[in-house]
Structure 1
Amino acid sequence: MNKKKEIFFIKYLNSRGKKYAFSLVALIFFYTIIFRIIYPLFEKKEIGIIRSFEFIIESMTTTGFGGLMPFHHPITNIFAVIVMISGVVMIFMVIPLFLVPWIESKMRSEPIKEVEETLENHVIICGYSEIVDFLVEELEINSIPYVVIDANPEICLSLNDKGIRSIHGIPGSVQALKNAGIKRAKYLLVTSKDEENANIILTAKGISDIDIIALVEEPDNAKYLQYAGAKKVACPKHELGERMAYRTFIPIVRELYSALHIPSNLKVTEILVPEDSHITNLSLVESGIGKESGAKIIGIWKEGKFTTELTSDTTLEPNSILFAIGTKKEILNLKNLLLSEENIGKEHNINLIIIGYGHVGKEIYKYLDHMPENVTIIDKKEINLKNALTGNATDDTLLKKAGIEKNCAVLIALNDDTQALYTTLLARNLNPNAYIITRCNNISNIDKFYKAGANYVLALPMIAGLMLANIITDKGRLEFDRLGIERFSVKGSVSSEKTIKELDVRKKTGCTIIGIERRGETILEFNTDFKILEDDIIIVVGTNNSLEKLKKEYQLVPSQ
């Protein structure tokens, strides 16, 4: 059973099927208990619960009486007749409730052109695409009714067969919108090209005051769709760019600097653990790097994820990135401890290569431009940036010039999946250890990107569908597993005068305390017995959701 048919099955069960199944099970259970009581009472013979159940099933399905007949008492006979009649009624109920609708749907050659009049407070989706698949799944989970309008009759028939309510019509026509029940609907979603969306919005506003949510292809066109009448405009390309950027480590460095209020004599740096390092695969304690260098390891970035939950057993895996804080001398000592003797003094910076500088590429760079020395951009068009290279990303010479053979992460933001796939293959061939994040425009190509060597794939249709669903379900901005770092004042909260162990922040919220500011000094070295005082400021790292949970759980107020 494919995913959409499964959704349809669940949805159908939640209405008629669920009530029928519950009634049938309850009736069988009730009859079994009654028969278990009256048979010994009137027939003067013992019978077990399993034998009673067997008799009820055989009687209701009219397949026999399990060798218990004839009955000698009239009450037992009357009960048997009631059971048989109930069984026949329940069986005949299946035909109009399930069989007829199923046969009608299979025999229907013409798509539905109008929704039922009872449908209200629903969402009208103009035009079918891959985006709709993800959107519908979220609407189903939240029990929000919807209907899809599409101009292709074959698509409408296919959608209805899968359990996705749809009607045939031109999304931008007055008649189709009326047939979709626009005056009873809650939202209208437009997900086509920007020009078509503008036409649909203007048409809809002429017949209804419905709230319209528009998906914009080109971010620059958002203002025109709002002017046409869209209440909200979602830009998935911006969301995609931000997500790709946050799969790298650089935004975390920026947030660490901002949150920790680092003194001028200290710096935060990121250091790669080379494969040939003598401390590779050792624990933090076994390596002794913190004690010998004097620097403090405050986090590790591994396979696109950042964690500050470090223990003495945390392993220093090859190609992971350590985040450390210390003086210039301490950081230099740490780097030398990580490198093998022949590599001391050589360049071991981590570089990022952005391939494609369209809307998604620009959004990625927005989160990385504070450290331009780490970033190289490749685009066909000439870009007025010092760290940009002009040319085709499928040119291996250009990729080598960008530093593909060094320690790097590659962010492929190309608008064409075919070119992006080839670039992924080429990048993986040139550097087997590169961390490759790629944009995907067609859901069917996701597996191909992973086979080509991508470490992480972000699909534009999926992000677009989830963005729209989040707006409709009033969940606000689409959240993802992005880490943030925030400062909270302890004053007046339940955290005051308690130890780190007593607070148990990690277990309760998923956040980690990485620093404590006390009387203008940032404390980074502390254990679980460290007590938080009334005037302290705690510095915490966590996802958006976990930080919100922390604020509520401990009644904390963000500190400037």
Structure 2
Amino acid sequence: MDLWKRRALKTVLAIVLLVVATSLVYHYIMVVMEGQPRSYFRSLQIIVETYTGTGFGSDSPWMTPLANLFIIFVDLSTFLLLFIILPYVFQPVLEESLSPEVPDAVDASNHVVVCGVAQQGERLIDEFRSRNIDYAVVVDSESEALELHDEGHPTVYGDLSSVETLEAASLEDARAVVVDTADDHAASVVLAIREIDEQTRTIVLASDGEFEQYLEYAGADEVLTPRQLLGQRLARRISTEVSPGASDTISLGNGTALLELTVFADSPICGDRLVDIEARNESVVVPSIWQGGRFVPNPNPETIVDEDTVLLIAGTESALSDLESETYAGREQDVNVVIAGYGMVGSTVAKELQTTTADCTVVDIENGDDIDVVGDATRPETLREAGIEDATAFVVALHDDDQAILSVLVANELVDSTDILVRVNEPESTTKVRRAGAGYVLSLPEISGRMLALEVLQEEILTYDRQLKIVRLDASKLDGARLSETIIAETDCAVVAVNRNGEFITDINDNVRLQDDDELLVVGSDAAIDVIEA
């Protein structure tokens, strides 16, 4: 509205000046050129009548060409002014009345404030919505605020580091705050939060671990660096496969564990049936597998294990450790790792593997001090130069999922005995990358979402850095039901164990009846787990 007032004032002044100027010129023409003496106010009256259209022509006819040309000019300017003045003055009014109102305040309490949606903010608010948790989103982009508002999200538009903006999101009554903005701006946001409330739990999602210390100085309670943690996880996975005695098991408690086991062409269990693997190892069961790029819960016991299979195995820790050592036997010799992409994930993998016997070769499209091969990781000649044909493992940490898929396809064509580990940026790319030939795939958004769920929602997640989400679920609402009658059976999830009175039961089938005090350990994709928990 202020814009309209300024334009209206300018327009009035311009019209007054125009009327005065044209009336003076007209008065001069009539007195000097036309020879008709009159007062100036008579000339002013004629000009006003002409501009307003209330009366004109009382002075006609004009005898001189100059007088006629000037009258023509005044008549045309009257017509043109309507098309210039009206849009200029009333455009702001029309835009304001037709445009949706930008949200600038939220009235809430015991909610979670999400400052920015740079990395995983949108995924987190989807989690909140599915669990009926109150939240408010603060963004500094007007278009983003309108879009979120139109989607039904409680939104505040304003400067993220402004105390006034954060107060408009009722931050003083919030249970927690998640800061998801550019790393170099996050510290200012945290300081503004602390100015309002010193006690509110503040979690910052950072893309670069170098900012962690500064954010903690500013007052952040927790700084999460998903890219760095994902890189560390990939490095540990490789270390497990090539280091004697190392184990990648996930402890479930009471001596029971879970293991993701990659099968290679030279693995002793390659070509075996699942039922044979379970028979030889009495203390283990295979509740789910990945095969052909697809996650298969409760697989057919007659399924043949091949080099495209990853097993998810439950059992005693000792039995899993023995099976792991047997499967990876012989892979510790001459460990060569090719890393495609040297961003935060790729550089973290290389740094972590420096403590092992692995020899790393880094490939990147841009040259740098730590780059061994400069080139496109989707080109066969680049991968050959990096030594892909002799590599024990190939880590794909490219920023673009389509490029990652192409790189995996090329690597899989050049060599079939290399373990291919991939970071993807979109969960939807996971299946495609697996079908292209990857054996181990981690989704950055899913890892980030699990970390936030663990910190913000205090969710019972056993571990957040695996290919699948692993959670504990209370079975009290399912008392007396068979597993096949629950919502779990309707999703692509698998129950890997049931904790019943402190005893872990891993040999589970669809006919198992659940009891009131059972605790289920369930694995599945993040989306499938969300359906169960909703």
TM-score normalized by structure 2?
0.52
CA distance in 2, matches of 1:369, 1:545: 35
Question: Contact 2:451–2:464 at 8 Å: present in 1 too?
Answer: no
Q: Does the residue aligned with 1:158 lie in a helix, a strand or coil?
A: helix
2:317 matched to which residue of 1?
none
Does residue 391 in structure 1 map to residue 374 in structure 2?
yes
**By how many angstroms is 1:158 displaced?**
1.9
**407-416 or 129-138, which deviates more:** 407-416
Instruction: Select the residue among 368, 379, 382 that pairs with 1:381.
Output: 368
How well do the aligned residues superpose, as a CA RMSD in angstroms? 5.4
With over 3 angstroms needed to count, the CA separation of the structure-2 counterparts of 1:164 and 1:324, relative to structure 1, is closer
- 1:3-402 aligned at under 5 Å gives the runs 109-116=100-107, 119-129=108-118, 131-209=120-198, 210-245=200-235, 250=241, 254-256=245-247, 272-274=264-266, 281-283=271-273, 315-318=304-307, 352-365=337-350, 368=353, 371-373=356-358, 376-379=361-364, 380-383=367-370, 389-392=372-375, 393-394=377-378, 396-402=380-386
2:422 matched to which residue of 1?
438
Does residue 470 in structure 1 map to residue 460 in structure 2?
no
1:262-313 residue CA offsets vs partner (Å, 9 max, x unmatched): xxxxxxx9994359x9x963559999xx9xxxx99999997699xxx9x997
CA distance in 2, matches of 1:184, 1:143: 18
With over 3 angstroms needed to count, the CA separation of the structure-2 counterparts of 1:361 and 1:298, relative to structure 1, is farther
Opposite residue 236 of structure 1, the aligned amino acid is P
Based on CA coordinates, which of the two structures has the bigger radius of gyration? 2
Does residue 405 in structure 1 map to residue 397 in structure 2?
no
Q: Does the residue aligned with 1:188 lie in a helix, a strand or coil?
A: strand
With over 3 angstroms needed to count, the CA separation of the structure-2 counterparts of 1:482 and 1:468, relative to structure 1, is closer
**By how many angstroms is 1:203 displaced?**
2.1
**By how many angstroms is 1:408 displaced?**
4.7
CA distance in 2, matches of 1:154, 1:398: 42
Question: Contact 1:356–1:412 at 8 Å: present in 2 too?
Answer: yes
CA distance in 2, matches of 1:378, 1:161: 44
Opposite residue 395 of structure 2, the aligned amino acid is L
1:97-126 residue CA offsets vs partner (Å, 9 max, x unmatched): xxxxxxxxxx8711221112xx11111111
**By how many angstroms is 1:226 displaced?**
0.6
With over 3 angstroms needed to count, the CA separation of the structure-2 counterparts of 1:364 and 1:250, relative to structure 1, is farther
Question: Contact 2:263–2:327 at 8 Å: present in 1 too?
Answer: no
With over 3 angstroms needed to count, the CA separation of the structure-2 counterparts of 1:256 and 1:159, relative to structure 1, is closer
Unaligned runs of 5+ in 2: 1-97, 251-260, 312-319, 468-494, 507-519, 523-534
Q: Does the residue aligned with 2:214 lie in a helix, a strand or coil?
A: helix
**By how many angstroms is 1:463 displaced?**
2.5
2:411 matched to which residue of 1?
427
1:316-362 residue CA offsets vs partner (Å, 9 max, x unmatched): 52466999979xxx999x98xxxxxxxxxxx9988643323443224
Question: Contact 1:353–1:377 at 8 Å: present in 2 too?
Answer: yes
1:204-255 residue CA offsets vs partner (Å, 9 max, x unmatched): 2223323321111210110001101111111111222244346655278543
TM-score normalized by structure 1?
0.50
Question: Contact 1:298–1:324 at 8 Å: present in 2 too?
Answer: no
With over 3 angstroms needed to count, the CA separation of the structure-2 counterparts of 1:299 and 1:405, relative to structure 1, is farther
**By how many angstroms is 1:191 displaced?**
0.8
Question: Contact 1:110–1:153 at 8 Å: present in 2 too?
Answer: no
Question: Contact 1:272–1:350 at 8 Å: present in 2 too?
Answer: no
1:354-381 residue CA offsets vs partner (Å, 9 max, x unmatched): 3234432244356655653476544543
Q: Does the residue aligned with 2:458 lie in a helix, a strand or coil?
A: coil
Opposite residue 273 of structure 1, the aligned amino acid is A
2:463 matched to which residue of 1?
479
Question: Contact 1:130–1:443 at 8 Å: present in 2 too?
Answer: no
Question: Contact 2:264–2:306 at 8 Å: present in 1 too?
Answer: no
Opposite residue 449 of structure 2, the aligned amino acid is G
1:6 matched to which residue of 2?
none
Question: Contact 2:111–2:135 at 8 Å: present in 1 too?
Answer: yes
CA distance in 2, matches of 1:202, 1:157: 26
**424-433 or 232-241, which deviates more:** 424-433
CA distance in 1, matches of 2:248, 2:445: 34
With over 3 angstroms needed to count, the CA separation of the structure-2 counterparts of 1:508 and 1:476, relative to structure 1, is closer
Opposite residue 340 of structure 2, the aligned amino acid is I
CA distance in 2, matches of 1:208, 1:132: 22
**By how many angstroms is 1:402 displaced?**
4.0
Q: Does the residue aligned with 2:196 lie in a helix, a strand or coil?
A: coil
Question: Contact 1:466–1:478 at 8 Å: present in 2 too?
Answer: no
1:399-428 residue CA offsets vs partner (Å, 9 max, x unmatched): 224443357542212345565455334324
**By how many angstroms is 1:148 displaced?**
0.6
Opposite residue 360 of structure 1, the aligned amino acid is V
With over 3 angstroms needed to count, the CA separation of the structure-2 counterparts of 1:270 and 1:425, relative to structure 1, is closer
2:443 matched to which residue of 1?
459
